[in-house]
Amino acid sequence: MKRTKFFTVIAIATNAVVLVSCGSGNDKPGKIYMPDMAYSRAIETYSLLDSTKFTNDPAQLGEKIFYNSRPVEGTLRLGDVPPFEAPLSDSAGGLYTISNQTKNPVPALSTHDSLEAARLFNINCAICHGVKAGSDGPVGARVGGVKNIVNASPGYSDGRIFHVMEYGQNNMGSYASQLSAKQRWMIIHYIRTLEPKPEAGAAAAATPAATAATDSSAAAKKTK
């Protein structure tokens, strides 16, 4: 009999603890013993986190779950390419010495990547430079002083164009925060597709010479 009463008391006490810890509803869920298990950290570095539960402010340690969203120093985001590193000035040979020697690390674009590069160009670049990179974008036409990429880029290496996108130049600001390194290299591939084809230029230059030769030949025959 005493044993039965003992177990009854234990059962009642256990139920009381459970009810108290669970609270009266969702407005008071009670304490979470292991918050990291209840709210697991995101796998992707740049995933959005619930700001009511997570923080990256060390001053809020203890109040919320601390999550340092910065990638580990020296590492790259999955699928990205190494960052471009070149000084803003170079005493050895001018501003773009190092950038001119940098090759595009992104291979030739697939059809899907070409469409994505075009989309990125139209969103970020065409507003000033125009959809054909001829400095006739809606903002560029109003502001003025926008470089005609089609005319300039054939004389620029991929690294130099990337340098401009990384650090900015003249009226153009840096796009390092808007576009990842891989996206910027992809846009450079796309810019190359907008450039005039060398064979077309050579054919156009050869046409007047060929016409002149034909005219000279015809004139010589008439003289005879």
Give the CATH number of the domain where residue 187 resides: 1.10.760.10
Greater model confidence, 69 or 53: 53
- pLDDT band for position 151 (cuts 50, 70, 90): confident
The pLDDT of residue 89 is above 70: no
Residue 86 lies in a domain: no
Domain count, the chain: 3
Residue 218 lies in a domain: no
Tokens of 133: 């990179």
Does 101 share its domain with 182? yes
Mean pLDDT, the chain, integer? 74
**Which of 121, 173, 122 has its CA nearest to residue 146?**
173
Residue 194 lies in a domain: yes
Summarize pLDDT for 64-81 with one digit per residue, the tens. 887 766 667 777 777 777
Does 17 share its domain with 47? no
Residue 6 lies in a domain: yes
pTM for the full predicted model: 0.56
Alpha helices (H) along 90-197: 97-100, 111-124, 126-129, 138-143, 149-152, 158-167, 181-194
Residue 222 lies in a domain: no
Does 19 share its domain with 103? no
Rounded Cα distance, 70 and 111, in Å = 33
* Structure confidence at residue 120 (pLDDT): 95
Greater model confidence, 57 or 89: 57
Does 61 share its domain with 3? no
* Structure confidence at residue 75 (pLDDT): 75
Does 23 share its domain with 66? no
Q: Show the domain range for 63.
A: 43-70
Rounded Cα distance, 40 and 218, in Å = 85
Q: What is the DSSP letter of 25?
A: B
At residue 28, what are phi and psi to the nearest 5 degrees? -135, 80
Does 66 share its domain with 123? no
Greater model confidence, 113 or 38: 113
- Percent pLDDT > 90 in the chain is 17
Task: Print burial letters for 135-160: b (CB count within 10 Å at least 16), e (below 16).
Answer: bebeebeeeeebbebbebbeebbbbb
- pLDDT band for position 206 (cuts 50, 70, 90): low
Does 57 share its domain with 127? no
Lowest mean pLDDT among 11-20, 154-163, 173-182: 11-20
- Average pLDDT for residues 44-71, to the nearest whole number? 73
* Structure confidence at residue 219 (pLDDT): 47
